[in-house]
Amino acid sequence: DRLAGDRHHQGVVAQVSAKEYLEGEELLDLLSLNPIPALLVVLDQIQDPHNLGAIVRSVEAAGGDGIVIPKHRAVGLTGGVAKASAGALEHVSIARVANTGKFLETCQKQDFRTVALVPEGVESYSEVDLTEPVALVFGSEGEGIRPIVLKKCDQQVRIPMFGKMNSLNLSVAVAVTLFEAVRQRTQKR
Q: Is the pLDDT of residue 133 over 70?
A: yes
Q: Does residue 9 lie in a domain region? A: no
| Number of domains present in the structure of the chain | 1
Distance separating alpha carbons of residues 178 and 59, to the nearest angstrom: 7
Residue 11 falls inside a structural domain? no
The vertex-34 CA angle with 29 and 37, nearest 5°, equals 100
- Domain range for residue 52? 22-188
Percent of the chain as helix, strand, coil, to the nearest 5: 35, 20, 45
Spell out the residues 6+ positions from residue 135 whose beta carbon is closer than 8 angstroms to its own.
38, 40, 41, 42, 68, 104, 107, 112, 113, 114, 115
Establish if 14 belongs to a structural domain: no
Q: What integer best gives the mean pLDDT of the chain?
A: 90
Residue 172 to residue 186: CA distance in whole angstroms: 21
More confident residue, 178 or 47: 178
CB atoms within 10 A of CB 45: 20
Nearest to 138 by CA among 120, 122, 150, 152: 150
What pLDDT shows up at residue 15?
52
Inside any domain, residue 117: yes
Residue 2: the pLDDT is 64
Which CATH number does the domain housing residue 56 bear?
3.40.1280.10
pTM of the prediction?
0.89
3-class state of residue 39 by DSSP = strand
Q: Using one digit for the tens of pLDDT, what is the confidence trace for 14-30?
A: 555 556 888 999 999 99
Predicted confidence (pLDDT) per residue in 64-86, tens digit? 999 999 998 888 788 888 888 88
Burial readout 117-145 (b: 16 or more C-beta within 10 A, e: otherwise): bbeebeeebeebebeebbbbbbbbeeebb
C-beta separation of 40 from 104 below 8 A = no
Q: Does residue 15 fall inside a structural domain?
A: no
3 located within any domain: no
Give the DSSP H or E segment for 30: helix 24-32
With beta carbons less than 8 A apart as the criterion, state whether 56 and 85 touch: yes
Residue 143 resides in a domain: yes
